[in-house]
């Protein structure tokens, strides 16, 4: 009987008040070392999970730790599938936290788990790779690798997800399921997410969440939108073949330059004359190459460009129409055309489409963390993210977290050599990650798929 009373004294008392996908979780726990190592081993008063998460996220020691991680990664940036040191650092920190993980995944990726190890599963994702850019920001932790820079905040994404791991590990006894932490390589190549999916990182996962730091919102402000959020991105390269010869006797040639030129002009009509003005599309030809001499018509000419759309239907239709136009214009001028959409260096990425129910959940969680006034409805953006591949497989939502701060020079867009981050947003990012995962698992009805 004494043992039974002892167990009962240490059982979790959970009170859940539910609104659609939104709830306040209040619990009584005995703050034992195995779950709350930073607390004294005495009974805690009723404290909400939100308050626990915010307290852990805003702890100065945790913030300094996240900054240190980000700066280490920033000093030694690694390109797609080269994230060896980054992966090693992540594994080292997970080891110190006592968080189990699987490695290697998709060559350099790491997949960790926190919680019961049983259903339900929810996933959080951070990308790891840097860009081939020479950093021009002069600061103590400037890139030490010539020609490489973390100019898209992936170093910060890793630091915040590790911050969330630290929070969730301390709250692991309250997790009613399993959190999967995905540290993904090669986002900038548009291949990392696909390769991670091939290695079953989404197995049993019911929902996924990811975020990106952006300069378009003030530091600490978050923004997203339901359904279509970021554009799908594709590239094309068309080789138009004719018959070369002397430019003084064009009647004996089949001119691929002429065919390429009319194809470029005709491609502009797809958006201006064939699509609904309210359906935002982009077709841009950004490269033309043909010939090596002013008086010789070449055998072939090449054009290449990009196309973008927000809906999967429009994206796929746009791709098909680009192929039709180029081949038709080539045929009109007696040429043939071969079009490559595979884009080895720039593969096609589908639109980032947020699941409406998961979006609503993310917005509610965000309001609890940053307040109503700092939670915004974002417009659509023409940028692309390979997080879209995860959203093709499971419901999820992608979020922007603002870093704009003129005082420290955090005003430059991603992929700029002057890109700077306000590191004081790290607690917000870590808290939203942790709160999303914890609250999703705690909802007994969760999201019906």
Note the pLDDT tens digit of each residue in 283-316: 999 999 999 999 999 999 999 999 999 998 999 9
Three-state DSSP at 350 gives: coil
Q: What value does the mean pLDDT take over residues 340-352?
A: 85
β-pair partners for 213: 401
- Per-residue confidence (pLDDT) for residue 19, from 0 to 100: 37
The closest of 404, 434, 420 to 153, measured between CA atoms, is 420
- Residue pair 120/444 in contact (Cβ under 8 Å)? The answer is no
d(CA 273, CA 265): 12
- Residue pair 123/441 in contact (Cβ under 8 Å)? The answer is no
Residues 6+ positions from 232 with CB-CB distance below 8 Å: 308, 309, 310, 312, 315, 348, 349, 350, 351, 352, 384, 388
d(CA 170, CA 191): 33
Q: What value does the mean pLDDT take over residues 206-211?
A: 98
Q: What value does the mean pLDDT take over residues 255-283?
A: 95
Q: Would you say residue 44 has pLDDT above 60? A: no
Q: Would you say residue 432 has pLDDT above 70? A: yes
d(CA 298, CA 258): 11
- At CB < 8 A and 24+ separation, what contacts does 53-60 make? 53/167, 53/171, 53/369, 53/431, 53/434, 53/435, 53/438, 54/369, 54/427, 54/431, 56/166, 56/167, 56/170, 56/171, 56/434, 57/163, 57/167, 57/427, 57/428, 57/430, 57/431, 57/434, 58/427, 58/431
Q: Would you say residue 229 has pLDDT above 70? A: yes
pLDDT digits (tens, 9 = 90+) for 175-197: 999 999 999 999 999 999 999 99
Residue whose pair of structure tokens reads 């999703």 in the numeric block:
440
Q: Would you say residue 22 has pLDDT above 60? A: no
- How far does CA 319 lie from the centroid of its chain? 23
Phi, psi dihedrals of residue 167, rounded to the nearest 5°: -65, -50
Cis peptide before 104 (omega within 30 of 0): yes
Helices 356-370 and 426-442, interaxial angle, to 10°?
A: 130
Q: Would you state the structure tokens that stand for residue 313, as one six-digit string?
A: 């239907």
Q: Would you say residue 28 has pLDDT above 50? A: no
CA atoms within 13 A on the CB side of 216: 13
- Per-residue confidence (pLDDT) for residue 12, from 0 to 100: 37
Q: Would you say residue 30 has pLDDT above 60? A: no
Q: Of the ranges 28-37, 156-165, 247-256, which one carries the lowest mean pLDDT score?
A: 28-37
- Residue pair 174/438 in contact (Cβ under 8 Å)? The answer is yes
- How far does CA 29 lie from the centroid of its chain? 35
- How far does CA 39 lie from the centroid of its chain? 34
Q: What value does the mean pLDDT take over residues 206-218?
A: 98
Mean pLDDT of the chain: 90
Dihedral (C-alpha) 137, 138, 141, 144: value to the nearest 10 degrees?
A: 80
Q: Would you state the structure tokens that stand for residue 306, as one six-digit string?
A: 């990009």
Q: What value does the mean pLDDT take over residues 218-247?
A: 97
Cis peptide before 193 (omega within 30 of 0): no
Percent with pLDDT over 90 in the chain: 85
Higher pLDDT, 276 or 1: 276
pLDDT-derived band at 417 (thresholds 50, 70, 90) equals very high
Beta strands in 152-280 (DSSP E): 178-184, 205-218, 222-224, 227-230, 232-241, 245-246
Radius of gyration of the chain (CA): 26
- Per-residue confidence (pLDDT) for residue 238, from 0 to 100: 98
């Amino acid at each position: 009987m004494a043992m039974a009373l002892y167990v009962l004294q240490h059982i979790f008392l959970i009170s859940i008040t539910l609104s659609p996908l939104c709830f306040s979780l209040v619990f009584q726990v005995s703050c034992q070392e195995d779950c709350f190592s930073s607390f004294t081993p005495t009974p805690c008063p009723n404290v909400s999970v939100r308050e626990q998460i915010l307290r852990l996220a805003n702890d100065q020691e945790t913030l300094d730790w996240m900054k240190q991680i980000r700066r280490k990664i920033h000093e030694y940036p690694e390109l797609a599938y080269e994230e060896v040191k980054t992966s090693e650092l992540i594994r080292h920190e997970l080891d110190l936290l006592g968080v189990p993980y699987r490695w290697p995944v998709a060559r350099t990726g790491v997949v960790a788990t926190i919680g019961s190890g049983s259903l339900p599963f929810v996933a959080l994702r951070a990308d790891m790779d840097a860009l081939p850019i020479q950093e021009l920001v002069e600061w103590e932790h400037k890139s030490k690798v010539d020609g490489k820079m973390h100019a898209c905040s992936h170093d910060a994404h890793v630091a915040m997800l590790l911050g969330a791991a630290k929070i969730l590990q301390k709250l692991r006894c309250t997790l009613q399921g399993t959190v999967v932490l995905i540290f993904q390589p090669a986002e900038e190549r548009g291949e990392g997410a696909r390769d991670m999916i091939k290695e079953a990182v989404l197995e049993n996962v019911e929902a996924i969440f990811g975020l990106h730091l952006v300069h378009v919102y003030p530091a600490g402000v978050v923004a997203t939108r339901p359904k279509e959020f970021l554009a799908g991105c594709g590239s094309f390269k068309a080789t138009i073949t004719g018959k070369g010869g002397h430019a003084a006797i064009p009647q004996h040639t089949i001119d691929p330059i002429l065919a390429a030129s009319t194809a470029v002009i005709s491609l502009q009509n797809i958006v201006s004359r064939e699509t609904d003005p309210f359906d935002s599309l982009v077709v841009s030809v950004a490269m033309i190459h043909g010939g090596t001499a002013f008086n010789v018509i070449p055998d072939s000419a090449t054009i290449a460009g990009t196309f973008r759309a927000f809906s999967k239907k429009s994206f796929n239709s746009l791709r098909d129409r680009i192929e039709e136009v180029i081949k038709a214009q080539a045929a009109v001028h007696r040429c043939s055309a071969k079009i490559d959409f595979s884009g080895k260096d720039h593969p096609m990425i589908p639109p980032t489409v947020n699941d409406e129910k998961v979006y609503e959940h993310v917005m509610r969680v965000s309001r609890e963390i940053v307040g109503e006034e700092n939670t915004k409805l974002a417009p659509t953006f023409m940028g692309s993210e390979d997080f879209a591949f995860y959203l093709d497989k499971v419901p999820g939502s992608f979020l922007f977290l603002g870093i704009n701060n003129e005082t420290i020079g955090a005003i430059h867009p991603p992929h700029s050599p002057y890109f700077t981050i306000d590191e004081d947003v790290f607690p917000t990012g870590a808290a939203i990650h942790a709160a999303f995962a914890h609250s999703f698992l705690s909802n007994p009805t969760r999201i019906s798929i």
